[in-house]
A and B are shown apart, each in its own frame.
Chain A
Amino acid sequence: MLSSEGFEVVRREDLSEVTYLLEVRHPELARAARPGQFVIVMSHAEGERIPLTIADLDRSAGTITLVVQAVGKTTREMQRDLRAGGSLYALVGPMGHPSHVGEAKKVVIVGGGLGIAPTYPIARAFKESGAYVIGVIGSRNKDLVFWEDRFRAVCDEFTICSDDGSVGIKGLVTLGIQQALERHSDVDELVAIGPPVMMRACAELTRPRGIKTVVSLNPIMVDGTGMCGGCRVKVGTTTKFACVDGPEFDGHQVDFDDLLMRLRRFQPEEKEALERWQTQGAAVT
């Protein structure tokens, strides 16, 4: 009663076997959102609130784009059920501080795995601000790469790194970053979004060089409005709530070990939910 209205999915695109794109109508949100911000969605009334980064938006069409990786129950169920014409039960945002696209003249933008999606609007914003943009994206293999063309279009230099060498250079994003830093001694800033382990490696690369490094953290969230404290992360000597103080933080200050441990908080329940869902009707469409 008096609750959610439903938010229409206007387009769905499968970017790989595990990655899909949802374009959702919400004109007010499309107008308000800035690069770096995220939303929280519930796919149905009994669902979980899950945070997803705003990967793109179209103000004239009044839509925002989400890119989702199917990892557990909720994201797989959404992959199975959501089509153009369907709807999300709840969609709220934009949340978090927008990326600070500031004075940097030369930036390295790093997206790993699913991180490719949320870094794209940041790369574009830096490009629009007149910066020299070096894009480095990393993927396990060729099939998981998406948005290469879009990314390339907003970068002055662009490198793909893959674990198996099936596309671009063979190696982790850190290899691509190292090569870029060798070519350019005057990089002002590096922005890295991806798995925490990758972000930590990026921060360790730039730390000795003293290059400002921004990472976007993805702790488990409930409300996204600063009310539960579930998303707390350690940054320097302080505790921050990623949803209202972040999600972007100084990568050199973040305690990644703490983040990695906290992401495992619900492992048994996540496993239970997924297994139950898979046996009880994941196949039923």
Chain B
Amino acid sequence: MAKKRTIRTIPQLRTAMTEQEPAERVRTFGEVACGYSLEEALRETERCLFCPDEPCVRGCPVGIDIPGFIQRLGERDVKGAYDVLTDTTLLPAICGRVCPQESQCEGVCTVGQTLAPVAIGRLERFVGDAAIREGWASVPFIEPAGHKVGIVGSGPAGVACAADMAKAGCAVTVFEAFQQPGGVLRYGIPDFRLPNEVLDAEIAKLARLGVTFRCNTLVGRLFTIEQMVEEMGFDAVFIAVGAGTPDFPDIPGASLNGVISANELLTRCNLMQARDFPAHDTPVGIGKRIAVVGAGNTAMDAMRVSRRLGADVMCVYRRSRTEAPARAEELHHAEQEGIDFHWLTDPIEVLDDGHHGVRGLRCRTMELGEPDASGRRRPLPVAGSEHELECDTVVFAIGTNANPILGQTSRIKLDARGYIEVDDDLATSLDGVFAGGDIVTGAATVILAMGAGRKAARSMKRYLGLVDSDVVYQETAAEDTLFGIAADRLGYARVKVPA
């Protein structure tokens, strides 16, 4: 850099990303945000001040070297930027798309104090997409370690742990109950936010690392966690089964036909491709006028999927827009797509159409009182505010609980809410068994789940006595490489860790 950048000299406006027009996109499942071109990405890199104290890095749950990758990208070294990213994240093309950046890295970006923050997520996505397009996969030299590792669940936590353990030389098998891997990334988040090809490409990289996927495998019932350790020869096991069990409210009418969970709607549509019914056999089973209850990411996805299936869609949420937990971009896109938002509205009864179907949702208006335990202002009902919203389908997206299957089939210790109990190293009550992601924390985010997968991998390596670094790709001299093996042809190799 010739001259030191300051907040005054950098491009003042955040580089816009081309998006499909709302009127167009509500008719297709094609991706909404089209991604940066190289020129756009380069321009956005010029907005980074390379702050010495790197607040953004601390804002990222996994501590990506953000100025590091932006710098390389700014030098047009996209591969170099990718290598910096993959020191920390396995799924840049995915996290760049789905992280709630406004409350993480971008939320604390210095530029953001004065102007719009550096578009870190979009730059990360640009690099991740380039890697997929170019077929880069920093496959390192892998020294077989002679250990067998089993991973239960193929969501972001599971695949992150699988990759690190495979790189450390373990024979890794990932077990997944569904017919395809990916967890929420497959069955929950729709194509218009995260195209299946991106997910397929990221998962294909794991296969290249030698990870075996076994779908159609319901762990707990086909074999237990205990059997994995005691009979099947797994030296260590990581449980990452997510928190998929949907909550239904305890209000009259919740079992009517036409009342479904967002999970069911999304699974039918995304995993089972019900949007192509009858070309695919699974129906969606929603009507023409839909009320989605909730305002998190899951709710936004359910609304926008319903919109694309041709329905009129309402959002019913008992707090106000400020408290909505969804990513800012999703909320913005939902608004653009014509979702009818009913803020401060609390459903109290689903109304029966006389044939066990839905004719409406009875609600009451709320107002915000004092902050509650979550720090958000507590919604309180307004007297005499009951009213009815007309709809034929009600979709609940009000949260999830721990899946019960492992608790039913294993001695593993659970906490009071049914989630798996772990210590600081993510070790469970069973020797050699670790757990992380939503099944430990409750519903969280992709990047936190991925971070948990990597943290568990570090603990597993310690448990197995493996000496291996977390940072896998770094330019080094040959004599510095692991076990004295020469760097691969790209000049990158594993970092040697002092024993």
Contact = CB atoms under 8 A, between A and B. Distances in A.
B270 to A, nearest CB: 12
Q: Which of B181, B200, B218, B404 has the most CB of A within 10 A?
A: B218
A222 B264 contact: yes
A226 B248 contact: no
Interface string A238-276: 010100110000000000001001101110011011001
Interface residues of A, number: 50
Contacts of B255: 232, 234, 239, 258, 262
Given A49-B272, A94-B222, A239-B254, A223 B248 contact: no
A92 B218 CA distance: 7
Interface stretch (A40-48, A135-143, A163-171, A189-197): A40-48
B257 A225 contact: no
- Which bucket holds chain B's interface residue count? 35 or more
Contacts of B215: 2-5, 90
Contact of B285 (A48, A224, A227, A269): A269
Interface stretch (B112-120, B273-281, B384-392, B421-429): B273-281
B246 A227 contact: yes
Interface in A51-110: 73-74, 89-95, 97
A2 B204 contact: yes
A141 to B, nearest CB: 30
Given A91-B216, A226-B403, A228-B264, A1 B257 contact: no
A178 B263 CA distance: 44
Contacts of A258: 255, 356
B88 interface: no
B177 A223 contact: yes
Nearest to B218: A92
B263 A227 contact: yes
B27 interface: no
Interface in B183-206: 200, 203-204
B213 interface: yes
Given A3-B179, A28-B223, A228-B263, A244 B216 contact: no
B261 interface: yes
Contacts of B257: 261-262, 264-265
B244 interface: yes
Interface in B29-81: none
Contacts of B179: 3-4, 42, 49, 89-90, 92
User: Max chain B CB contacts within 10 Å: which of A225, A227, A241, A264?
Assistant: A227
B180 interface: yes
Interface in B245-298: 245-246, 248, 254-255, 257, 260-261, 263-264, 267-268, 272-273, 277-283, 285
Contacts of A222: 264, 267-268, 272, 282
A269 B181 CA distance: 28
A244 B404 contact: yes
Nearest to B282: A48
B221 interface: yes
A150 B390 CA distance: 55
A224 B221 CA distance: 12
Nearest to B242: A227
A226 B264 CA distance: 10
B218 A226 contact: no
Given A90-B179, A223-B178, A273 B245 contact: no
Contacts of A89: 179
Contacts of B283: 266, 269-270, 273
B203 A225 contact: no
Nearest to A263: B257
Contact of A244 (B180, B254, B279, B408): B408
B272 to A, nearest CB: 7
B261 A229 contact: yes
Contact of A48 (B263, B279, B281): B281
B493 to A, nearest CB: 28
B448 to A, nearest CB: 20
A92 B219 CA distance: 10
A261 B354 CA distance: 11
Contacts of B403: 225-227, 244
Nearest to B261: A229
B217 interface: yes
B263 A229 contact: yes
A240 to B, nearest CB: 11
B478 interface: no
**Quick one: which of A91, A94, A224, A229 has the most chain B CB within 10 A?**
A229
A97 to B, nearest CB: 7
Contacts of B356: 258, 261-262, 264
Nearest to B212: A2
B281 A47 contact: yes
A93 B222 contact: yes
A92 B179 CA distance: 8
A262 to B, nearest CB: 6
A229 B254 CA distance: 11
A276 B264 CA distance: 25
Contacts of B273: 46
B382 interface: no
A32 interface: yes
Interface centre among A224, A232, A264 (most CB of B within 10 A): A232
B131 to A, nearest CB: 18
A28 B248 contact: no
Contacts of B178: 223
Given A93-B221, A222-B268, 10 more contacts: A4-B179, A42-B179, A90-B216, A94-B222, A225-B244, A227-B245, A229-B260, A232-B255, A245-B404, A276-B278
Interface of B: 177-181, 200, 203-204, 207, 213, 215-218, 221-223, 244-246, 248, 254-255, 257, 260-261, 263-264, 267-268, 272-273, 277-283, 285, 356, 403-405, 408
Shortest 8 CB-CB distances between A and B: which pairs?
A: A269-B283, A261-B356, A228-B264, A227-B244, A48-B281, A229-B261, A90-B179, A92-B216
20 contacts: A1-B200, A2-B181, A4-B216, A29-B222, A46-B279, A89-B179, A90-B216, A91-B216, A93-B218, A94-B218, A95-B221, A223-B177, A225-B218, A227-B403, A241-B245, A244-B404, A258-B255, A262-B255, A272-B278, A273-B278
